[in-house]
Structure 1
Amino acid sequence: SCYFIPNERVAGDSTRECMDLEGNKHPINSEWQTDNCETCTCYETEISCCTLVSTPVGYDKDNCQRIFKKEDCKYVVVEKKDPKKTCSVSEWII
């Protein structure tokens, strides 16, 4: 999923950058990855951020569990009884 943050410009301000939600500045047309596994792009009028994470939804929820690996920005689905074994996933959503 994605969300947008208006790039608030002050009249007479000719700076060509955006300020993200953490207060960091980014040049117009630049792209970066956040600590929350999102990729963001700075445009003249807004910042666009989209998740990099696909969430597993089609798996055996009785016998398996999903575990989020933040360092890789992804989920793995493993057996509850034996977390060393992966479970098959038939459907993912973004």
Structure 2
Amino acid sequence: MQPLIHIFFLLSVAEFTTSSNCWFSKGPCVNGKKEYRVGGRWRVRYDDHCEDCTCVKSGFACCPIPYPVDIPKSCAAIFDDKKCKYHVVRRDKPCIPCSRPVSYIG
């Protein structure tokens, strides 16, 4: 089990060093009053975005949820702060999803 945790940690650190949007904090894995063990995950909601966090042996790391890129000009990305996800919809009719596939990064 211990080697698996080390591999997970190395993969996590590699991800965070390659993405400028992710961040790492040394210390206990605490979100509000809840404490997490190594491997624990939680989501943090903000007004304009959400972050997924993971507890690792030496602290915790958080990254923003994936967001849409390469959106057609006829479409727009709308952030749903209650569900922590983006909806890509038509600009002329926001109740209709964009028909063209969209890529996500994050």
TM-score normalised by L of structure 1: 0.65
1:40 to 25, 32, 53: 53
- The match for 1:81 is 92
- The match for 1:92 is 104
1:72 to 73, 78, 83: 83
User: What secondary structure sits across from 2:45 in the alignment?
Assistant: coil
5+ residue gaps in structure 1? 8-17
- Residue by residue over 1:14-46, the C-alpha shift from the partner in whole angstroms, topping out at 9 and shown as x without a partner, is xxxx165x7756244243221242222333422
- The match for 1:14 is none
Q: Percent identity?
A: 32
1:4 to 2, 9, 24: 24
Aligned length: 81
TM-score normalised by L of structure 2: 0.59
The change in CA–CA distance for 1:73 and 1:27 in structure 2 (over 3 A counts) is closer
Bigger CA radius of gyration: 1
8 Å contact from structure 1 (residues 55, 93) kept in 2: yes
8 Å contact from structure 1 (residues 77, 89) kept in 2: no
5+ residue gaps in structure 2? 1-20
User: What secondary structure sits across from 2:102 in the alignment?
Assistant: coil
